[in-house]
Amino acid sequence: MARLNLLEETRFEKLPVTVYSDEYIASVKVAQRIAELIRYKQGRNEKAVLGLATGATPVKVYAELVRLHREEGLSFRNVITFNLDEYYPMQPTAVQSYVTFMNENLFDHIDINKNNVHIPDGTLPQERIHDYCLEYERKIEAVGGLDLQLLGIGRTGHIGFNEPGSAPNSGTRLVTLDDLTRRDASRDFGGKENVPRKAITMGIGTIFKAREIILMAWSGKKAPIIKKAVEGEMSSDVPATYLQLSDNVEFVLDQDAASELTRFDTPWLVKDCVWDDSLIKKAVIWLSQTVKKPILKLTEEDYNNHGMAQLITEKGTAYEINIDIFNKLQSTITGWPGGKPNADDRRRPERAEPARKRVVIFSPHPDDDVISMGGTFIRLVDQGHDVHVAYQTSGNTAVWDDDVLRYMEFAIDFNKSIGQESDHLENIYEDMRSFIENKQPNQLDSQEIRDVKGFIRKSEAIAGARYAGLEDDHIHFMALPFYETGKTVKKPVTDVDVELTMELLQKVKPHQVFAAGDFADPHGTHIVCFNIVLAALNRLRETEEWAQDCWLWMYRGAWHEFATHEIEMAVPLSPQEVERKRNAIFKHQSQKDYPVFPGDDAREFWVRAEERNRETAKNYDDLGLANYEAMEAFVRWKF
């Protein structure tokens, strides 16, 4: 089913929510609704007035509207548009401007009259903005108001740029952007310091006047704020909660964005459930964490008092369920991530045979391997497995410019020290220095600078893999073409990316593949790289016998961790192994202290990794399992 629980409402949800299986289907459905409105208005010889949003969320909606125009004759001649917002100050020709965004994603590809397009003007003198905003409101009213308003939602809960503290009756105005909003935009601007501090936005009161409001959200990154907006109390701290007052609003979500809503996260609190093994495991762990008791100490009263009476009625006593879940959790723990030789492996996460496995660890960036699974990496090598590591991208956008100059200065000095001519290097160095001094935000680096940044990360990756115990011929640099643009926005994946991955897999013929399943990566590189690995394995499974027996394990750690109920293999680390993992991470000096793209987490990567690994171990301890120093967690992909 593409559309989930269409009419299902719960006592927790305070406004209508429709959930689709993925953002592609959801975007097509939203585009179809817009098209229906346009055609309906055309039939009445009326204008369709649309409020439009920007950002990643509506991109596929606009792509579908363009397709409908090109392939099905949808005309936009009768459409008037008003965009929600624009950065201030902002030139309309700037790459980051919403004028550029709307032209590239929609307006340049349809037959709309450009006189009917309205986007806030980011070039005005500040003293003129107040009057301009009043006129923006008057223009909306003059055409009869908004028929339909598209919205995304920021992680602060902002709609448009109505940040926390905005009033529900606010109009179009100049606002100051929240620090989190600016951080989220930093990649587009080449750093947070380049993101404008202000924006012009329609107000919440303006949005409320629309006859129909559709708020869209995709991905698990939006799940926490969606839960607050849909189930939380109305508050200026989360401006989107004001939409609970509207009779004309609908939230359109994909499964990941909806995942923390009560009906999906803890469905036993809402209705009777179909209790399969995975839901029982999740519910029992949740109950243990909620009442703060080890699993084996949970009582029937605990189950009854927390919405789980149906479970013990259908599946046995609390004692029996506790024992079953405890044993299942116990069986996920293994000190043998490649399988324990000559052991009964029926309850172990990995197969015992072959005793010496061929392993490929795919690392999207040159440090994800040691950050996310460095302890397991080292243990696989120590236990005699034939381990290869494959760095899928160069990571060359994530190196500071001054590191490039430092390495060039080293190369020049070294050349001179061995009596080599260095004039050519010095000329390149001067060109680099001049380029960097005059570099504009998010400007593409010169090829020489990109090369040096790639070399820096390559040398660090080699040092980390060697420290883990690999020989040089087991260290592979793939330089997948989709990434090698030098830009933060990458090219689409092509068959070349998949074929290069297939070639490496065919060469090694692994029994085990480890790949990053950390899809909260703010750069989006992890999920792209994972999908390339998955596509390669799926193709090979059609013709290669070894691929049928190749297991794919997903790891996380750099950005967040698997929930305890999801974990299928937990590899415990001793204090000494934690230190070895830390030392491997330290080889990546360019990413230490403060990386170019740190995301929301201000901690250094090695600190994040250690604290997440210790938290995983503590979760197991709290549930009544053995108390380890740290744990790395894995989930097996089911083909």
In one-letter notation, the amino acid at residue 252 is: V
3-state secondary structure of 223: helix
Report how far residue 37's alpha carbon sits from residue 49's, in angstroms, rounded to the nearest whole number. Answer: 9
Please name the residues in contact with 232: beta carbons below 8 A apart, sequence gap of 6 or more: 238, 241
Alpha-carbon distance of 126 to 351, in angstroms, equals: 67
Write down the H helix ranges in 257-355: 262-265, 277-291, 300-305, 309-315, 318-330
Whether residue 312 contacts residue 318, with contact meaning beta carbons closer than 8 Å, is answered with yes
Greatest alpha-carbon span in the chain: 84
Catalytic-role residue among 13, 163, 610, 632: 163
Nearest CA among 634, 587, 17, 530 for reference residue 264? 17
Please, are residues 168 and 208 in contact by the beta-carbon 8 Å criterion?
yes
CA distance 20 to 27: 9
CB atoms under 10 Å from CB of 426, counted, come to 16
Q: How much of the chain is helix, strand and coil, in % rounded to 5?
A: 45, 15, 40
User: Which ranges of 73-174 would DSSP assign to H, the alpha helix?
Assistant: 98-105, 126-142
- Give DSSP secondary structure letters for 21-77: SSHHHHHHHHHHHHHHHHHHHHHTT--EEEEE--SSTTHHHHHHHHHHHHHH----T
List strand residue ranges (DSSP E) for 330-486, in order: 358-363, 386-391, 475-477
What's the CA gap between 528 and 519, in Å, rounded?
9
Q: State how far the Cα of 582 lies from the Cα of 233, in Å rounded to an integer.
A: 43
DSSP 576: H
The CA-atom distances, in angstroms, between 436 and each of 306, 374, 448, 589 are 60, 34, 12, 21
Distance of CA 637 to the CA centre of its chain: 18
Q: Which residues contact 300 (CB under 8 A, 6 or more apart)?
A: 312, 317, 318
CA 317 to CA 344: how far, in whole Å?
A: 29
Amino acid in position 378 = I
163 tagged catalytic: yes
Query: Quick one: CA dihedral 273, 277, 283, 288, positive or negative?
Result: positive
Task: Note if the bond before 89 is cis, omega within 30 degrees.
Answer: yes
**What is the C-alpha separation between 87 and 600, in angstroms, rounded?**
21
Residues recognised as catalytic: 163
